[in-house]
Structure 1
């Protein structure tokens, strides 16, 4: 606006002076006007950058997360700027069917809120999210064909093209994505912060109701429970279940938060993965069931078969149990070959 007024004023002055004076003074006035225009443009750019910089928090869609689109992406991310910009490029609309986008969206909000809890003044780190529905031109400029994408743009002293220097986060196959994503932010920005999870009132109420229900059950069924837990078979069964869980690797799945099932390159399900340091949930369940079947056969062979009335029944049951044990153990050895390809032993080569 100020620039327009100045130009109009110069035009009016030139219109009301003599041509002779105009010719004499033009060589003096032109450099002054040019310098003024350059200074005004530089001031406008600095003012615009400072305005955006100071008003970044007010653009948030939620606490600490700025809503990016095709109109403001280049202004906020392109530079020049003295701050890191943590950007999630996502596609949360139902028609895109991006399950990871919906899964990681709340984690991204949690990371932004947690960072601002430890850094209320931002310390030159800002968070933004660009959804495909509002940033299609930005996606084309970044040459993106899939979502989500989690990038961090470092500070820059110059205006960089869209999709310039950035650090890319590779999504691991874990459930708790905010932990590796938080480590990625700390590593790139050099800013330390803790993830502040919101208090789960639903879990508190659930725990209270569970404790109350168990307490009432112990009081009401005190005598029946006392007789039940005094039985030897109950403790034997409980111990056997726990042994099968630990031997099959259930605790490993809980600690490592492994996937339940994976797919190969042709999108076919894989039930067993190679290597001793890798495991998935479905193979744990299959191995546990196989061990349970073997335990049942061994216990039946030791306790049930000898108690049968006739010798023919004993022979028949014993033979059937031995066949099941042979097949089940052959299956275990075959799957062990997947974990250790150099293992030389096998029984029935049918798996």
Structure 2
């Protein structure tokens, strides 16, 4: 009787284990089907899918989860949109390699608030490795190891690349992706055609512009030269590169265009000073080249005085602004 009872127990246990294995295999097959359907190999998880494929004492696969938030996608300091693209590039490479045992998943905050709380997400971006042997209950906070979360200090703050995520994947799962194939239009068959068409188009436009009548207009070229000079001396390119604001409101709400410090300048301040430089230069150029061409001596004399006085006033204003900004004093010697 004892022998029969023991055999019966073994049979029952075997059936339970076999049933669980079949369920696990079915889950894995379902996830593999979802990967094939995903354009970049990343499965979008809903809360129900999280409960179906993650909850349990263990699972026969690992997961790399990327947490994002739709309302923060346009925040440049977070770069969630770019990071999600890099995450997809890595998932695509794993998908093409045929290596199994790990699935890439993304979750959205508003859709899965409770899941975010259980994952312990404190800030975004958030990438975490779900170990196959990690027990995940039906509720409560999931206790990850510290190195299961992709930390900013290890891979660069908010600027992870697919290669960084590949290193994280290798450390956690042993799957090594040596190279990330980034899609490029330059490698497509259409690139030579588009490049040749662009060159021909630009050549035709340049040819027509060179022989156009308006391109021989001296006034147009003069205005262009003056604009380039003004834009250069006013620091316009610096403002664009550094994102310098044009002005700022003070504590009383008044608009300020001059920064009372020698540590920098506002955009409008640079443009105003550049305009003063331009006026001073035009005054000196007029005195040098335009005034001598006047026929009447009295006209030349009057125009000379006007140019000298105007240039002196502009120069004085430039010096006063410089003194106010830096605190340096000018001394005149005669």
Q: TM-score, normalised by structure 1?
A: 0.57
Deviation at 1:203, TM superposition (A): 9.6
Distance 1:232 1:99, change over 3 A: closer
Cα distance in 2 for residues equivalent to 1:109 and 1:347: 52
**Counterparts of residues 262-301 of structure 1 (less than 5 Å):** 289=271, 292-293=274-275, 295-301=277-283
Counterpart position of 1:152: 128
Cα distance in 1 for residues equivalent to 2:243 and 2:51: 38
**Counterparts of residues 237-256 of structure 1 (less than 5 Å):** 237=226, 240=229, 249=238, 253=241
**Counterparts of residues 176-195 of structure 1 (less than 5 Å):** 180-190=160-170, 191=176, 192-195=178-181
In the alignment, which of 171, 182, 190 is matched to residue 196 of structure 1? 182
**Counterparts of residues 158-177 of structure 1 (less than 5 Å):** 158-160=134-136, 162=142, 164-165=144-145, 166-168=148-150, 170=152
Cα distance in 1 for residues equivalent to 2:88 and 2:108: 17
Distance 1:172 1:189, change over 3 A: closer
Counterpart position of 2:203: 215
Deviation at 1:222, TM superposition (A): 3.4
Deviation at 1:182, TM superposition (A): 1.5
Deviation at 1:144, TM superposition (A): 4.3
Distance 1:150 1:97, change over 3 A: closer
Deviation at 1:128, TM superposition (A): 1.0
The residue matched to 2:133 in structure 1 has which SS?
coil
Deviation at 1:218, TM superposition (A): 3.5
Q: TM-score, normalised by structure 2?
A: 0.59
Q: Contact 2:233–2:274 at 8 Å: present in 1 too? A: yes
Q: Contact 1:67–1:129 at 8 Å: present in 2 too? A: yes
Q: What per-residue deviation string (whole Å, max 9, x for no partner) do you get for residues 113-157 of structure 1?
A: 4543474314544321112354233123234476x5331305443
Cα distance in 1 for residues equivalent to 2:99 and 2:108: 23
Cα distance in 1 for residues equivalent to 2:25 and 2:223: 72
The residue matched to 2:48 in structure 1 has which SS?
coil
Deviation at 1:66, TM superposition (A): 0.8
**Counterparts of residues 118-129 of structure 1 (less than 5 Å):** 119-122=96-99, 124-129=101-106
The residue matched to 1:129 in structure 2 has which SS?
strand
Q: Contact 1:248–1:287 at 8 Å: present in 2 too? A: no
Deviation at 1:303, TM superposition (A): 1.8
Q: Contact 1:110–1:196 at 8 Å: present in 2 too? A: no
Counterpart position of 2:251: none
Cα distance in 2 for residues equivalent to 1:203 and 1:70: 43
Distance 1:186 1:97, change over 3 A: closer
Distance 1:206 1:100, change over 3 A: farther
Distance 1:164 1:325, change over 3 A: same
Q: State whether structure 2 residue 67 is matched by structure 1 residue 67.
A: no
Counterpart position of 1:104: 80
Matched residue count: 283
Q: Contact 1:83–1:126 at 8 Å: present in 2 too? A: yes
Q: State whether structure 2 residue 24 is matched by structure 1 residue 49.
A: yes
> Structure 1, unaligned stretches of length 5 or more?
1-24, 262-270, 335-344
In the alignment, which of 285, 288, 295 is matched to residue 303 of structure 1? 285
The residue matched to 2:97 in structure 1 has which SS?
coil
> Structure 2, unaligned stretches of length 5 or more?
171-175, 246-256, 292-299, 330-334
**Counterparts of residues 8-87 of structure 1 (less than 5 Å):** 25=1, 31-60=6-35, 61-74=38-51, 76-77=53-54, 80=58, 85-87=63-65
Distance 1:189 1:145, change over 3 A: closer
Distance 1:186 1:326, change over 3 A: farther
Deviation at 1:31, TM superposition (A): 4.7
Q: CA RMSD in A?
A: 5.1
